[in-house]
Amino acid sequence: MENKKIVCIGGGTGLSTMLRGLKAYTQDLTAIVTVSDNGGHSGDLRKEMKILPPGDIRNCLLALAEAEPMLEALFAHRFSEGSLKGHNLGNLLIVGLADLYGNFGAAIEKAHEVLRVRGQVLPVTTEDVQLKAIYDDGSEVVGECEIVSANKSHKKYIKEMMLIPSEPKVYKNVLEKIDTADVIILGPGSLYTSIIPNLLVEGVCEALRDAKGKIVYVGNIMTQPGETEGFTLLEHVNVIEQYIGVGMIDKIIANDGWPEAMVIEHYNQDGAELVLPLIDDARVIAVPMIALNEKTGYVRHDSGLLAKTIISIG
């Protein structure tokens, strides 16, 4: 499957991690990224500068960059003190590019040139969207951070996700990339705040249903407090197919490795559990692919092993 057209849909660190592994296998790699984040320093920039959150897109640009190391370091640099403490220089540069060239889409295109990106990183929409969750008790919460916080506080279960405004206009080339892809990957990433938001944009679900390429879901290693407490792998899949259609996912890549006991204990204290492929489904490809970040103590997908598994699907 080398040099085939691969489209990855999602957001967060899981998406950029996967891209780093896949870029060794294909020149035609596209990331379609959610823009509904309203938290952290990206959220601050969104409120103050009236711009879409740049963080997830910046991480994907860096994952596919072939620029000089110093330039990559600049885009990755985070300030440690002063009024800019916590802010990422790359995010600020994207804000500056948007100011110079008039809009967020143009800023991302210029960032591709500056970083010599191999492939494409596309926002799923350039409209100013917010997430809305509708819960099983009929209540509603608006805003990505507010949704996660509400779930942690009240242990409610999400019945449906929506965007405000509903069905925003899809960004240019997104539907074309899905239509012409050999493989379309959903995840890894937060189910309700990284994957599903992309599916709520005008035309995306329809494009996935009509896609000629295989649709692959990459399961998360751990459940996420505030989103998927207690979820099995099958429940993750069922939620996605609630939007794109039952049976639309062709392959499910799942981790079946175990982190060290102390790592599991650390996660359990926060309410997270290991997601294991304990389902009888011919679509499942189970591979041990855990990588531990020694600095944070968090587990991630091993980008190299994940990429090899995706490529082996053919």
Start-end of CATH 3.40.50.10680 domains in the chain: 1-34+162-314
Between CA 240 and CA 195 the distance in angstroms is 8
The model's pLDDT over 247-265, given as tens digits with 9 standing for 90+, comes to: 999 999 999 999 999 999 9
User: In this prediction, what percent of the chain has a pLDDT beyond 90?
Assistant: 78
Q: What is the pLDDT of residue 301?
A: 96
Q: Name beta bridge partners: 131.
A: 163
Q: What is the pLDDT of residue 177?
A: 98
Q: What are the strands, taking DSSP E only, across the chain? A: 6-10, 29-33, 120-123, 130-135, 140-142, 158-164, 183-186, 214-218, 251-255, 284-287, 290-292, 299-301
How large is the average pLDDT for residues 76-82? 88
CA torsion 108→109→110→111, rounded to 10°? 50
* Whether the predicted pLDDT of 64 surpasses 60: yes
Phi (first) and psi of residue 245, to 5 degrees: 115, 140
Q: Are 43 and 25 in contact (CB under 8 A)?
A: no
| Preceding peptide of 188 cis, ω within 30° | yes
| Prediction pTM value | 0.95
For the sheet with 158-164, list strands across it: 140-142, 130-135, 158-164
- Site of tokens 């509904």: 36
pLDDT level of residue 2 (50, 70, 90 thresholds) = low
Q: What DSSP character marks residue 144?
A: H
The model's pLDDT over 95-112, given as tens digits with 9 standing for 90+, comes to: 999 999 999 999 999 999
CA 35 to chain centre: 10
What is the CATH T-level fold of the domain 1-34+162-314, as seen in this structure?
A: Rossmann fold (3.40.50)
Count Cα atoms within 13 angstroms, Cβ side, for 269.
7
Give the range with max mean pLDDT: 67-76, 163-172, 267-276.
163-172
